[in-house]
Structure 1
C-alpha cells in the first residue's frame, strides 16, 4: 500500500496507543479478530458490523500488517499527524457536502435537515473521539506505569552499584590491607573476582539501558500527551465550526419565520382595513341617501301645509261675507225676520 493511500488511524482500529509494544499490538489484533469473527459470535448485528465497519478483517489486517513491521510503522508514525488531520477534516466536511446522488445542490436541503445532519456529524465525531481518547489515555497510563517501574529499577541499581563501589573501596583501602595481614582473610579466587566484576559491569550496562529506556518513555509520554491535546483541539475546532453553522441556520429559520409572521400580520391588517373601508363606505352611502331624501320630504310637507292653509283662508272669507251682508238684508227680508232663525 502506498503512503498516499493511507487514510485510516491504525492505532484507533487496534485500540492501542502509539507507543504500544509488538506484544500489545498482537494481543489487540487477536482480541478484536475473535470478538468480531462471525464464527465466534452468531449475533447478526455483530456479523454485519464485522463485514461493513472499520473493525472488519481487511481493516484489522491492514492495521496489523503496518504496525507489526518496524519500517512500515516508522513511516506510518511519521505521516500520522497529517493522516489525523485529513481524517477529522473529512469527517467535518462529509455532511456539509451531501452526496451528489441525493442532491446536486446543498442549498436545496432545508435548514432543519442541515441542522439534523450537522448534529449527527457531531455525535459521530464525539463517538470516534471517545474511542480515540480511551486508546490514548490507556497508552499514557501504560507509559507512566512503565516510567515509574523503570525509575524504581534504576534506583535499586544505583543503590546496588553504590554499595558494591563502597565494598570495593573498603577492600582496597589501607585499613583492609592491614586487617588482612593481621587476620589472614582469604582472598577471592580469580574466578570469583571475574564473576563479581562481570556482575558489576552487567548492572552498569543494565542501568544505562534502563536510563535510555526511561528517556525514551518520557519522550513518548510527552508525544502522547501532545497528541491527546492536539486531537482534542481539532475535535473542539470542528465542533465549534459546526455549532456556528447550526446557529447560522437557526438564525435563518427564525428570520424566515419572522418574515412569514409579519407577512401574515400584514395580510390580516389589509383584510381588516378593507372590511373597515367597506363598512365606512356603506355608512357614507347611507348618510348620503338620507340627506338626498330629506329635501323631498320637506318639500312635500310644505306643499301639504300650503294647501291646507289655502283651503282654510278660502272658507274664512266666505263666512265673513255672509255675516256682513246678512245684517243689512234683515230689515228688507220678506220673511219678516224669521229666516235667520231657521
Structure 2
C-alpha cells in the first residue's frame, strides 16, 4: 500500500500562521477537537473526516522532523489547496492513481532526513575536533610546565650540593625574590582561608609535622588506653607470680642447705662416737 501524501493546507485548517510555535498549535488543536469530534457532532456526516484531518495536521506540525519535510513542499500544497473549491476539506488520502508522486514524496522525505543527519554528523565532527585540539594543547602545556619544574628541581638540588655551593653561579637578587615568591605561593596552596591572620600558627609553621605526629600519638594513646591497661595488669600479674616463684625456690634451696648442714652434724657425731668407742676398747 502506498504511503499517504499530504495535500491539505494544515496551517490554514488550524487557523495559524506558518511560523506558529508548538503552544499555538496545541491550543488550536484542542479548540478544533472540541468542534469536530464525532461524539459532539452525531448528525454531521463529515465530522469523522474533519477530525481525521485535524489529527493528521496536529501530528505533522507538532513533530519537528515531519513539519520540516512538510514545509519543504508547502508551496505546492498551497497551490493545490487554492485550486480546490470545496467547502469542507476531505481527509488526507493516498492517490492510488498516481503512485509515482507518492514515491517521489517518500524520496524527498528520505533525502531531507539524510541531509539533516549529515549536517548533525558534521557538527559532531567539528565538536570532536575542537575538543581533541584543546586536549592536545593542554597536554603540550602540561608537559612544558612539568619540564620547567623538573629543571628547576635539578638546579635547586645542584645548588644545595657541595659542588654547587662552591662552583655554581650566584643568584641575583631578582632571582632570589622570584624563588621566594614561588615558595610562598606553593606553601599557600593548601592553606585554609584567613589562616594568615593567625600569627601563632604562622610562627609554628616549621613544627607542623612534629605537632601532627604528637597529635597522632595522643590519639593512639587515648584510643588504646583500655587495652594498654589490661596489658599492664597482665604484665604486673606475671611479674608478681615470677617473684613469688623465685622466693619459693630460694626458700627451698635454703631448706636444702639447712638439711645438709644438719645431716653433716649428725654424721660427725656418729664418727666421733665411733672413735671414742675404739679408744675405750
Fold in common (TM above 0.5) = no
Structure having the larger proportion of residues in helix:
1
Name the larger-Rg structure.
1
TM-score of the aligned structures, taking structure 1 as reference length: 0.27
